[in-house]
Structures are given as structure tokens and as C-alpha cells.
């Protein structure tokens, strides 16, 4: 779960507020004190915390809020809006060139995930139907050029590189000529990283910037380094001028200090976030959706997008028909698990749902190939009638199925419990993927 420890503390505080019918100013102040502590523990910049709280307070202790019918919910709404504002309120998209190619320069310290992110970003653009060109301009670390070539090969992305001895400025300039000739867009330049900020690196970035005038200069930052990442961003922005930030390793960052501070401190928007090691693990950054996730309001829009990507419309209609006619069988369940696998990890998907409670049985369920084979074996050991109507599966039937599939009665029980929750989950997903709005659930 994104920013797990921060999310838990904030949600606890806000839950207490929501449960009260009337709120006094003292109770709001107490909640603000808890929020302040949670943010500081999450390594959010202290000035940012101070400003954030004064904005929330100004809006939350007014008479309209305290004397309203649902004061607790009003305060939650204010915290949500200010949290989203802190991170830039809306998605900040790539500044596409009016005349292609769009040139995107990636900068960052070594180990921040810069090279991986270059490949992820190219992959992201490719999925949107563009033809990206990756440029290996990290000439000081020969392994970086090799790494980028390998990543490029894995996803069939072209990588531009020159033999040793060429300057990054030359490489970048020549890659642009190539891009124009071959119709590549965007051009994504992986520049040299250093262990620490030094003059040489800044000079080189300024030189590249001066020569090719990129449309984007994005700084890749390791979110796990918290306030250090924010300081690095300040320095780069002062010395080179950034158009945005990509925060990596958010999957390992339970605190969220960098994500919540970097925009407020530097004024640079976060444009993308890295959420895993795989090349698909890059997301556009939506401050409003992230704020909703942190506060446990769920991220229904992201679920909809994923569901729409994973299910095609015909499948979605077929699911709905089956669900309506109570015709959703265990075989369908297996089919659906395969679909869910395409939507990312199940745990991550479940964490997007509002509230923390639903679908407990499905938490921790590994939908890997082996588990799917086990489930398939269990389901195949059932009679057609049992598959259609699992409620008839009593103790002796369970023992027979377990023996037939080479598993255990516990495994059969687990599958049946998961099936019943999956029915509910599928119902929600198929509603969502058909574009029906889920009204008021969790919000």
C-alpha cells in the first residue's frame, strides 16, 4: 500500500473525527496535532507541514464547518483537498512539442533509478502509440550504456549510442538528427549520474540544455531518501532549471516525505512515479488520486482505467450477463484470475478500493502461474454441478475433490472462500469497466 504508515495514522485520526456528530474547536485542534505528528514522522519538510496545517486550520475551525451537520466529514474533505494541493492538485502532463520530436532529458544521482526510468518512460510512451528513441548519454559509466541497450532490447525499443570518446552533447545532438530522419518522438536522453552533486555534472547538463533546448528536463529522485531527495531537487532546480520530477521506488516508501514535500519546496511538479522494478511500473502522477489513496478514500478512477485496459468491452458485457443471471461459475473465476493478473498484483489492486475492509480473503492471494495450476486442478476435480453451484460442496465432496486434485481440504475451502469474494469483486469491476459510476461508495 502506498505510504502505508502515513496512511494508517491519518486514517485513524480522521476516522475519529468522522464518528462524531458535533465537533468542538478543541477536538479539531487535537486532530490537527495528530496530523502534524504523522506528517513529521513521514519526513515531510517541517515548513511544508506548518503551512499545510495553517491552511487546513483556517478552513476547518470556521463556524460553517463546526456548525454544519457533518463537521467531521467536512474536515476530512478539507484535509483531502489541501493534501492534493500540496502535491500540485492535478496531473502535470509532458509538455509535448508542437513540432516533434519532443526532447526529454533525464537527470539524477547514481542509483536513483535514472536508467531504469528512461526505459520505463519510453515504454510508457510506446504504449500510448508513440515511437520513442532512447539515447545513452551516460558516457562516464560504460555499464549504463550497456544497461540501457539491454532494457531497450527487452521491450523492443531503439537505443541510440555512439562509441566511446564522444561527448554527451554530441551524442544528444546526433540522436536528434536521427530522430528527425526516422520519425522518432519523443527522444529520451539518459544523462550521466554522479554519486554526489558536482560542478562537472551541472556543467554538462547546462551544456546539453543549451545546445538542444529540451522540452522537458526531469529529475529522477529516489523517494526512499526522503528530505535528501528534496534537497537534491532544490539544487538541480537552482543550477540547471527543471520542468518536473520523477519519483522512483515509491513501492518501498512507506513514509511519503519526498512525495509530499518536493512540489511545495521547489515548485516543480511530480510528473511520474516509479512503483516497482519492472518496465511497466511507471504511473502518471495524479495528486488528487494519491491524496484519496492516502486517506483511504480509494482510487476508483485508477481502478476504472485498469479494468478498461484489462477487459475488453465484449468480455465486460459477458461478465455482466453472467453475473446478472447468477451464472458465474468457478471456471469463470479461473478465467477472471487470469484477467486480474494482467491488471497488476492483486494486493495492489485491492488497496485501491475504498476502505480497508473489503475482500480480506483475497489479500495475499498470489495469482502466479503455479497457484493458478493448483486452482485449475481443484476446479477440474469437481463435477459440473458442483462448479455451477458450489454451495452443495459438503465435507465428503471436499475430501473427494482434495484427493482428486492432489491438494488438501483446506486448499479447497480456501478456494471456495476466495471464489465467493471474487464474485463480489468481479461485480464491482464489471460495473466499473462498463463505465457505470459507483456512487458514494467510500466517499
d(CA 14, CA 438): 23
Query: Toward ligand GDP, which CB reaches closer, 306 or 398?
Result: 306
111 interacts with ligand GDP by CB under 6 A: yes
- Between residues 188 and 401, which has the closer beta carbon with respect to ligand GDP? 188
Burial class (CB in 10 A: 0-12, 13-18, 19+), 357: exposed
Residue 113 binds to ligand GDP (criterion: CB under 6 A):
yes
192 annotated ligand binder: yes
User: Which of 259, 315, 244 minimizes the C-alpha distance to 291?
Assistant: 259
Residue 407 and residue 404: Cα distance in Å, rounded? 8
Between 109 and 337, name the residue whose CB sits nearer to ligand GDP: 109
276 binds ligand GDP (CB under 6 A): yes
Which x/- pattern over 288-327 shows residues binding ligand GDP (rule: CB under 6 A)? Answer: ----------------------------------------
Do 168 and 223 form a contact (C-beta atoms < 8 A)?
A: no
Q: Tell me which DSSP letter residue 352 carries.
A: T
Rg (CA), the chain: 25
Binding-residue pattern over the window 116 to 145 for ligand GDP, x denoting contact by CB under 6 A: x---------------------------x-
Does the annotation flag 193 for ligand binding?
Answer: yes
Q: Applying CB under 6 A, which of residues 215, 237, 249, 289 lies at the interface with ligand GDP?
A: 249
Q: Is 117 annotated as a binding residue?
A: no
Binder to ligand GDP among 74, 115, 405, 407 (CB under 6 A)? 115
Sheet containing strand 159-160, strands side by side? 159-160, 133-137, 187-191, 103-108, 216-222, 244-248, 270-274, 282-284
Cβ 20 vs Cβ 27: under 8 Å: yes
271 touches ligand GDP (CB under 6 A)? no
Would you give the binding string for ligand GDP spanning residues 175-194, x where CB under 6 A is met?
Answer: ------------------x-
**Using the 8-state DSSP alphabet, how is residue 405 labeled?**
H
Nearer to ligand GDP, 193 or 257 (CB): 193
**Nearest distance in Å: CB 154, ligand GDP:** 13
Q: Given candidates 257, 274, 358, 390, which one binds ligand GDP under the rule CB under 6 A?
A: 274
- Residue 41's contacts (CB-CB under 8 Å, 6 or more residues apart) are 5, 6, 9, 255
Give the residue nearest to ligand GDP (CB): 274
CA separation for the pair 250, 256 (Å, rounded): 8
Is residue 17 marked as binding? no
| Alpha-carbon span 35 to 14, nearest angstrom | 9
> Near ligand GDP by CB under 6 A, which window of 52-60, 245-253, 357-365, 381-389?
245-253
Q: Would you say 124 and 160 are in contact if contact means Cβ atoms under 8 Å apart?
A: no
State the distance between the two ends of the chain, measured CA to CA, in whole angstroms. 19
Is 248 among the residues that bind ligand GDP (CB under 6 A)?
A: yes
241 is in an annotated binding site: no
Minimum CB distance to ligand GDP smaller for 232 or for 402: 232
Query: Which of 11, 13, 92, 112: binder of ligand GDP (CB under 6 A)?
Result: 112
The only residue of 68, 73, 110, 167 in contact with ligand GDP, by rule CB under 6 A: 110
- Beta-bridged to residue 159, according to DSSP, are 134
Residue 108 lies near ligand GDP (rule: CB under 6 A)? yes
Alpha-carbon span 316 to 330, nearest angstrom: 17
* Structural contact between residues 159 and 136, judged by C-beta atoms closer than 8 angstroms: yes
> Which helix (H) or strand (E) covers residue 284, if one does?
strand 282-284
Under 8 Å CB-to-CB from 33, ≥6 apart: which residues? none
Give contact residues for ligand GDP (rule: CB under 6 A): 108, 110-116, 144, 193, 248-249, 251-252, 274-277, 281
| Residues in binding site for GTP | 108-115, 190-194, 248-251
Amino acid at each position: 500500500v502506498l505510504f502505508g504508515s502515513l496512511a494508517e495514522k491519518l486514517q485513524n485520526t480522521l476516522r475519529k473525527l468522522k464518528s462524531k456528530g458535533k465537533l468542538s474547536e478543541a477536538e479539531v485542534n487535537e486532530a490537527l496535532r495528530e496530523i502534524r505528528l504523522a506528517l513529521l514522522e513521514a519526513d515531510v519538510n517541517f515548513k511544508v507541514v506548518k503551512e499545510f496545517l495553517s491552511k487546513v486550520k483556517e478552513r476547518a475551525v470556521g463556524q460553517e464547518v463546526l456548525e454544519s451537520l457533518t463537521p467531521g466529514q467536512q474536515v476530512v474533505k478539507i484535509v483531502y483537498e489541501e493534501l492534493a494541493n500540496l502535491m500540485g492538485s492535478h496531473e502535470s502532463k509532458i509538455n509535448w512539442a508542437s513540432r516533434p520530436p519532443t526532447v526529454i532529458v533525464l537527470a539524477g544521482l547514481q542509483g536513483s533509478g535514472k536508467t531504469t526510468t528512461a526505459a520505463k518512460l519510453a515504454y510508457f510512451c510506446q504504449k500510448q502509440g508513440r515511437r520513442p528513441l532512447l539515447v545513452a548519454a551516460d558516457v562516464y559509466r560504460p555499464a549504463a550504456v550497456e544497461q540501457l541497450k539491454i532494457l531497450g532490447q527487452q521491450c523492443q525499443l531503439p537505443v541510440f549510442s555512439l562509441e566511446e570518446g564522444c561527448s554527451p552533447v554530441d551524442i544528444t545532438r546526433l540522436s536528434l538528427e536521427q530522430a528527425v530522419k526516422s520519425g522518432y518522438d519523443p527522444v529520451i536522453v539518459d544523462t550521466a549520474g554522479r554519486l554526489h552533486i558536482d560542478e562537472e555534472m551541472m556543467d554538462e547538463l547546462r551544456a546539453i540544455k543549451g545546445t538542444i533546448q529540451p522540452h522537458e528536463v526531469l529529475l529522477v529522485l529516489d523517494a526512499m531518501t526522503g528530505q535528501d531527495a528534496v534537497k537534491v531537487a532544490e539544487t538541480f532546480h537552482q543550477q540547471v532549471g527543471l520542468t518536473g520530477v520523477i519519483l522512483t521506488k515509491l513501492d518501498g516508501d512507506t513514509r511519503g516525505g519526498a512525495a509530499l514535500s518536493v512540489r511545495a519546496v521547489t515548485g516543480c511538479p511530480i510528473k511520474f512515479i516509479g512503483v516497482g522494478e519492472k518496465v511497466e511500473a511507471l504511473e502518471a502522477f495524479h495528486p488528487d488520486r494519491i491524496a484519496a489513496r492516502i486517506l483511504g478514500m480509494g482510487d476508483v478512477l485508477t481502478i476504472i482505467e485498469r479494468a478498461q485496459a484489462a477487459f475488453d468491452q465484449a468480455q465486460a458485457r459477458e461478465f455482466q450477463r453472467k453475473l446478472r443471471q447468477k451464472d458465474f461459475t468457478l471456471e469463470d473465476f479461473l478465467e477472471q484470475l487470469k484477467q486480474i493478473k494482467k491488471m497488476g498484483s492483486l494486493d495492489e489492486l485491492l488497496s485501491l478500493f475504498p476502505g480497508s475492509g473489503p475482500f480480506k480473503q483475497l489479500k495475499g492471494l498470489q495469482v502466479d502461474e503455479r497457484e493458478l495450476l493448483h486452482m485449475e486442478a481443484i476446479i477440474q476435480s469437481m463435477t459440473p454441478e458442483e462448479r455451477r453451484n458450489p454451495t452443495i460442496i459438503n465435507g465428503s465432496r471436499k475430501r473427494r475433490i482434495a484427493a482428486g486434485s492432489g491438494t488438501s481440504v483446506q486448499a479447497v475451502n480456501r478456494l471456495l472462500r476466495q471464489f465467493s469474494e471474487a464474485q463480489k469483486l468481479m461485480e464491482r469491476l464489471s460495473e466499473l469497466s462498463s463505465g457505470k459510476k459507483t456512487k458514494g461508495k467510500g466517499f
